[in-house]
Chain A
Amino acid sequence: MTTTPQAVRRASPRTRRPATPAVPDPSAGLLPQPEPVRLLDPDGTPLPARDDYPEPPVETLREMYRRMVVGRRFDTQATALTKQGRLAVYPSARGQEACQVGGVLALRDSDWVFPTYRESMALTARGLDPVEVLTLLRGDWHCGYDPAVTRTAPQCTPLATQCVHAAGLAYGESYQGRDTVALTFIGDGATSEGDFHEGINFAAVFKAPVVFLVQNNKYAISVPLSRQTAAPSLAYKGVGYGVPSEQVDGNDPVAVLAVLNRAVAHARAGKGPYLIEAHTYRMEPHTNADDQTRYRDADEVEAWRDRDPIARLEAYLRARGVLDDAAVAAVAEEAEAYAATLRRRMDEQPTVDPLSLFEHVYAEPTPQLVEQRELVRAELAAARDEEGDA
């Protein structure tokens, strides 16, 4: 909040009233700081250390760097696979590596992640099989991985609907005496959806251990943030629900992880949900099908290259003396090998079984589905016979 000198002058006579006892500010501890938390300058120079957001251990930061490099290589490979027609569509997260990797690095394996369609990188960084992650986008089924085993909900396409699931799951886990934390990813545009508000409100009312990580990448496809909100920051949306909130420079990996660590610890300690707005930028179009020249200038995109999260962390770790040329080369090599394996595996045509369409609609197929399955079975048999005759 800024106060103009005129406002001060107008207000001053009123301040001469007898002093009333100070009332504690009920929003204290809920509002984010006026500026995003930042621990590294864009060039990787460390800023003064802060007590509220202690820097994560250097080993963790090295691991974060590794996963970010591999994650970006995965992402560019997935974009390339789309151009080759191997994927139906791919929404890239390039430029958002600090959030994608930080979001999963702050969690335990026993915690749950609720991703959107843009979190393929986050899920591979969590250790999920990249081919299973890309099943949705390749189109051989919807969710390719096992959510129960990976503790990772299906990538959610209906915007913000996963926020309420995260609240329910987190409450259910704590109700059953487990200290699971649920982290839900969400974009800036989706904060306009009702389910974001219902999710954060339910989580707050039931004190569910949920971290809401908003990646504000400035655009909802083409629509800029100014059309989503008039709030000073998306992190200000927490206070209305009684949820402590913070904003962070989403391209500062050290700050992202530091803020996430605090949020996850808050949730795990039974203090309820936490809202984080990470200011970042989507370097690629919304998906390969999008034409970003219609809504943003190349200059704008170019300017964000100077705030690249990987270069930033690399510069910092090199300056700390914990990353050298050999280590950088090793990570790059690992990333290339990861991409090569992915390419090879994605070259294999997946087998799809039309009869599997009838499985998993219900626990047991209804009589009507059994009938339809027989119809399809007969169609397939007839098609095979025709092929045999030809």
Chain B
Amino acid sequence: MATVTMAKALNAALADALLDDERVLVFGEDVGQLGGVFRITDGLQARFGDKRCFDTPLAEAGIVGFAVGLAMSGLRPVVEMQFDAFAYPAFEQIASHVAKLRNRTRGALSVPIVIRVPYAGGIGGVEHHCDSSEAYYAHTPGLKVVTPATVDDAYSLLRAAIDDPDPVVFLEPKKLYFSSGEAELPARTAPIGTAVVRRPGTDATLVAYGPAVPVALAAAEAAREEGWDLEVVDVRSIVPFDDATVTASVRRTGRCVVIQEAQGFAGVGAEIAARVQERCFHALHAPVLRVSGLDIPYPAPMLEHTHLPSVDRVLDTVARLQWDDQPDSRWAAA
């Protein structure tokens, strides 16, 4: 085992994919000589040449549309969107073509491309650099949407995404890029579509993904002082969603809080809360609650800590899970 950053693990996954599969091409803005603004593609052009890892014109719809054509010719494009909000020009290509080509052609064409998107906040970025855009992609049938929270998952899920026959939107939590973890690379953790119990517990389940996972783990640790033993489930794969793992956990604990960094309304957390309620109703001792970002445009850096789900906000929410079998006053009123 060695200590590596998530950025390094992602870099290693790209390098190993380029090495193992000559169809793999890595491209985007500044990914060549510079190695990407987050250095995720560092050294790849030098090692594999400028035909395998290259810069493109600065046009996101063009990058994704170009990838569609390359995939039609039998290649395996892995594209980088420089930042979450800068991927929006590509949305038409993603929603109308990447997600639908297999379906439109009854399987005659497929689009095995990976769209890497550095996403979410917590890094003090100025506007348009910190959006949590997962709900847009997760709401689009035909896309797989994954987001790692650990170093070995970052490697493993990216390799799985590149090998996958379907298009994968690979959401990389920016604030975790330079977090380190113990990992033995190349790591293979679990296939896409599998959630994992990150921390076992008995009193309630915290369901989280991407940048919210470390928050959930920290909250679970802090909750011990309050006398709660919390389980943490890392979703990892938003689409396909692993109902089985989440459901099994909530049935064990009887309580559930869903945590996401994105704004809450109509978000992925809302979908997870609904699914848990539909499947675990008779096991639940309290309503499924959500902790999310506020329903505001991503705030300026000096205000982002108010927006982002914090350990305190998670613990306050856990406290409202009807522990004394008394209805929460918030729901009893009116």
A363 and B105 within 8 A (CB): no
B103 and A361 within 8 A (CB): yes
Flag whether A147 is at the interface (Cβ < 8 A): yes
Closest CB in chain B relative to A363 CB, distance in Å: 4
A148 and B108 within 8 A (CB): yes
A202 to B142, CA, bound (A): 26
Q: A142-B103, A142-B104, A359-B106 are in contact. Are A168 and B65 (CB under 8 A)?
A: yes
B69 and A167 within 8 A (CB): yes
Flag whether A240 is at the interface (Cβ < 8 A): no
A168 and B108 within 8 A (CB): no
Flag whether A195 is at the interface (Cβ < 8 A): yes
Q: Which of B65, B75, B166 has the most CB of A within 10 A?
A: B65
**Residue from B51, B59, B72 within 8 A of A168 (CB atoms):** B72
B92 and A202 within 8 A (CB): no
Bin the interface of chain B by size.
35 or more
A147 and B108 within 8 A (CB): yes
B240 and A176 within 8 A (CB): no
A201 and B62 within 8 A (CB): yes
A158 and B92 within 8 A (CB): yes
Chain A residues 361 to 377 lying within 8 A of chain B, measured CB to CB, are: 361-363, 366-368
**Residue from B69, B141, B165 within 8 A of A363 (CB atoms):** B165
User: Please, which residue of chain B has its CB at the minimum distance from the CB of A204?
Assistant: B57
B75 and A175 within 8 A (CB): yes
A141 and B106 within 8 A (CB): yes
A164 and B68 within 8 A (CB): yes
B59 and A198 within 8 A (CB): yes
Flag whether A272 is at the interface (Cβ < 8 A): no
- Chain B residue numbers with a CB within 8 Å of A164 are 61-62, 64-66, 68-69, 93
Chain B residues 60 to 119 lying within 8 A of chain A, measured CB to CB, are: 61-62, 64-75, 77, 89, 92-93, 96-97, 100-110
A169 and B70 within 8 A (CB): yes
User: Please, which residue of chain B has its CB at the minimum distance from the CB of A241?
Assistant: B57
Flag whether A78 is at the interface (Cβ < 8 A): no
B97 and A165 within 8 A (CB): yes
Closest CB in chain B relative to A273 CB, distance in Å: 13
User: Please, which residue of chain A has its CB at the minimum distance from the CB of B237?
Assistant: A366
A112 to B72, CA, bound (A): 10
Flag whether B193 is at the interface (Cβ < 8 A): yes
Q: A194-B61, A367-B243 are in contact. Are A149 and B97 (CB under 8 A)?
A: no
B96 and A169 within 8 A (CB): no
A172 and B72 within 8 A (CB): yes
B65 and A199 within 8 A (CB): yes
- Chain A residue numbers with a CB within 8 Å of B74 are 172, 176
A172 and B75 within 8 A (CB): yes
Closest CB in chain B relative to A270 CB, distance in Å: 15
- Chain B residue numbers with a CB within 8 Å of A199 are 62, 65
- Chain A residue numbers with a CB within 8 Å of B57 are 198, 201-202, 205
A199 to B74, CA, bound (A): 19
Flag whether A153 is at the interface (Cβ < 8 A): yes
A362 to B244, CA, bound (A): 20
A361 to B100, CA, bound (A): 7
Closest CB in chain B relative to A320 CB, distance in Å: 40
Flag whether B239 is at the interface (Cβ < 8 A): yes
Flag whether A227 is at the interface (Cβ < 8 A): no
Flag whether A161 is at the interface (Cβ < 8 A): yes
Flag whether B133 is at the interface (Cβ < 8 A): no
**Residue from B71, B101, B142, B239 within 8 A of A154 (CB atoms):** B101
A313 to B64, CA, bound (A): 42
Flag whether A173 is at the interface (Cβ < 8 A): yes
Closest CB in chain A relative to B45 CB, distance in Å: 16
A201 and B69 within 8 A (CB): no
- Chain B residue numbers with a CB within 8 Å of A362 are 102, 142, 144, 165-166, 240
Flag whether B56 is at the interface (Cβ < 8 A): yes
B69 and A168 within 8 A (CB): yes
A168 and B67 within 8 A (CB): yes
B240 and A165 within 8 A (CB): no
Flag whether A332 is at the interface (Cβ < 8 A): no
Flag whether A331 is at the interface (Cβ < 8 A): no
B69 and A360 within 8 A (CB): no
Q: Which of A143, A164, A366 has the most CB of B within 10 A?
A: A164
Flag whether A254 is at the interface (Cβ < 8 A): no
Flag whether A324 is at the interface (Cβ < 8 A): no
- Chain A residue numbers with a CB within 8 Å of B110 are 363
A149 to B107, CA, bound (A): 12
- Chain B residue numbers with a CB within 8 Å of A154 are 101, 104-105, 109
Q: A161-B96, A368-B240 are in contact. Are A168 and B105 (CB under 8 A)?
A: no
Flag whether A146 is at the interface (Cβ < 8 A): yes
B241 and A368 within 8 A (CB): yes
A198 and B61 within 8 A (CB): yes
A194 to B91, CA, bound (A): 13
Flag whether A281 is at the interface (Cβ < 8 A): no
Chain A residues 119 to 153 lying within 8 A of chain B, measured CB to CB, are: 141-143, 146-149, 153
Q: A158-B92, A363-B166 are in contact. Are A172 and B62 (CB under 8 A)?
A: no
Q: Which 10 A-B pairs have the closest CB atoms?
A: A168-B69, A164-B65, A172-B73, A198-B62, A169-B69, A366-B240, A168-B66, A363-B165, A142-B104, A172-B70
14 of the cross-chain contacts (CB-CB < 8 Å) are: A141-B106, A143-B108, A164-B64, A165-B66, A166-B69, A167-B66, A169-B70, A172-B73, A173-B73, A201-B62, A202-B56, A205-B56, A363-B110, A363-B166
- B interface vs A, CB < 8 Å? 51, 56-57, 59, 61-62, 64-75, 77, 89, 92-93, 96-97, 100-110, 141-142, 144, 165-166, 193, 239-244
